[in-house]
Amino acid sequence: MKNRKLVMIPGPTPVVRSIQDQMGRETVAFGDPGFINDVKQVVKDLKTIFKTEGEAFVVAGTGTLAMEMGIANVTKEGDNVLVVSNGFFGDRYIELCERKGLNVDVISSEWGTIVPVEEIEKKLSEKNYKAVTVTHVDTSTGVCAPVAEIGKIVKRFEDTVLVVDGVCATAAEPEYLDEMGIDVLITGSQKAFGVAPGLAIVLAGPKALARRESLGTIRDYYIDFEKWIPIMNNPGKYFGTPPVNLIWALQESLRIMKEEGIENRYARHKKVSRAMQAALEDLGFTILAEKEYRAVTLSNVIYMDGIDDGKFRKILAEEGAVVAGGLGAYAGKMFRLGHMGNIDTHDIVSTMSAIERTLYRLGVKDVLGKGVATLTSELVKVPELAK
Ligand SMILES: *Cc1c(COP(=O)(O)O)cnc(C)c1O
């Protein structure tokens, strides 16, 4: 019998049955009284969980649309923008901002490391930037930026709005907008939320909303905060047809999150990721990200000598786990393993065992049970709650 394939890539992540069920429901009119209440609930939950007095937007689109929405509402042509890049998705903001006619300065880190906060502070004190973009977890490197520290710094610069790309972090890494100084948080449905792809989710705090107001009419239409604010607050109104079933799926994902408790969810991700990373290192792999900046949502795993990327990922899929390849200079040298969202101990242990069986089939000796032993001995420890 064929193995079921666990989707352990950095998005889409496994979608649990109760969320799938929401997508299988009969679609109703967007003006349906029940659906109107559901949208209100989703908006309220997003603002409560991620702690902002501002606004929440849920629109059909992917994380990239959310990136565009995030920057388009807080800048206008000719503005200076600072892009802090820790990898591929950080770099994506460069072209995106340039196409909008923004003057872009970039500070990037070597892949696997972060841009030091002192460098960000130095840049901000040299020039007036209307916005700074930071990728919380860059999926290409598995590096997590110190967003809380960056937020503290940006808060001191009255004119600068902090836009955080949380596509691979939100719902797994702590992100509390107003207290952390995150002015715009952009994310998507298919990563740590554990919903199917298709929703762009954006949260905007008071500083970002004041900026939007000061801009008057902006060039972008579909992603204009001012088009959506009346809808998010009064979902019976029409602007663009809401993706009804995906919004229900997100509502279920938020219900799961509230049931688990957001702090517990953050602690779970930390525990699982550290256990996974320890086990991978025990098997002889190298984790790309420096230890203190490792993401909790995914691991970027460099092969030991003699392992062929194509063969490894093909056999691993046969053994029941799908992982992603490396990007950029790491293509062929690394695989990317997602361990975020609504996954449980079965998923984690099965994935580790499938990795061992794959190495065994590739001729690596003394590997069966080794990673699982490390992983499970870490998992049974009492969770060390987030510092
Ligand atoms: C996946 C990802 C994106 C892009 O999201 P899409 O839904 O693929 O458009 C942007 N930023 C980060 C950090 C991501 O991980």
Q: Which atom of ligand 1 is nearest to the CA of 135?
A: 13
Residue 89 banded pLDDT, cuts 50, 70, 90: very high
* pLDDT average, residue stretch 73-91: 97
**Is any ligand 1 atom within 6 A of the Cβ of residue 139?**
yes
Record the pTM. 0.97
**Is any ligand 1 atom within 6 A of the Cβ of residue 187?**
no
**Is any ligand 1 atom within 6 A of the Cβ of residue 8?**
no
Long-range contacts of the stretch 26-31 (C-beta < 8 A, 24+): 27/244, 27/245, 28/244, 30/235, 30/236, 30/238, 30/241, 30/242, 30/244, 31/236, 31/238
The model's pLDDT over 334-377, given as tens digits with 9 standing for 90+, comes to: 999 999 999 999 999 999 999 999 999 999 999 999 999 999 99
Report CA(93)–ligand 1 centroid distance (Å): 11
Contact between 19 and 190 under an 8 Å Cβ cutoff? The reply is: no
- The pLDDT score that the predictor gives to residue 386 is 38
The model's pLDDT over 115-128, given as tens digits with 9 standing for 90+, comes to: 999 999 999 999 99
The model's pLDDT over 137-156, given as tens digits with 9 standing for 90+, comes to: 999 999 999 999 999 999 99
- Which H or E run contains 110? none
Give the pairing type, strands 184-188 and 199-204: antiparallel
Report CA(64)–ligand 1 centroid distance (Å): 6
User: Of 383, 224, 234, 363, whose CA–CA distance to 296 is shortest?
Assistant: 383
Query: What does the mean pLDDT of the chain come to?
Result: 97
**Is any ligand 1 atom within 6 A of the Cβ of residue 60?**
no
336 contact partners, CB below 8 Å, separation of at least 6: 9, 10, 139, 142, 298, 299, 300, 301, 323, 324, 325, 326, 327
- The pLDDT score that the predictor gives to residue 1 is 83
Q: Which atom of ligand 1 is nearest to the CA of 139?
A: 15
Helix (H, G, I), strand (E, B) or coil at 318: helix
- The pLDDT score that the predictor gives to residue 150 is 98
Pocket residue to mutate for ligand 1, from 64, 69, 163, 173, most atoms within 8 A of Cβ:
64
- The pLDDT score that the predictor gives to residue 303 is 98
Residue 387 banded pLDDT, cuts 50, 70, 90: very low
**Is any ligand 1 atom within 6 A of the Cβ of residue 193?**
no
- The pLDDT score that the predictor gives to residue 272 is 97
Q: Which atom of ligand 1 is nearest to the CA of 136?
A: 13
Q: What percent of the chain has pLDDT over 90?
A: 97
Q: Closest Cα to atom 3, ligand 1: which residue? A: 63
Instruction: Give me the count of residues in the chain.
Output: 387
Q: Can you tell me the distance from the alpha carbon of 353 to that of 268, in angstroms, rounded to the nearest whole number? A: 20
Q: Can you tell me the distance from the alpha carbon of 131 to that of 161, in angstroms, rounded to the nearest whole number? A: 4
pLDDT of 32 above 60: yes
- The pLDDT score that the predictor gives to residue 383 is 53
Residue 2 banded pLDDT, cuts 50, 70, 90: confident
Long-range contacts of the stretch 343-349 (C-beta < 8 A, 24+): 343/13, 343/14, 343/194, 343/272, 345/379, 347/6, 347/8, 347/14, 348/272, 348/275, 348/276, 348/375, 348/379, 349/375, 349/376, 349/379
Q: Can you tell me the distance from the alpha carbon of 325 to that of 316, in angstroms, rounded to the nearest whole number? A: 12
pLDDT of 227 above 70: yes
The sign of the CA dihedral 131, 135, 140, 141 is positive
Phi and psi for 364 in degrees, rounded to 5? Answer: -80, 130
Contact between 202 and 57 under an 8 Å Cβ cutoff? The reply is: yes
- The pLDDT score that the predictor gives to residue 343 is 97
Q: Which atom of ligand 1 is nearest to the CA of 188?
A: 7
Report CA(168)–ligand 1 centroid distance (Å): 7
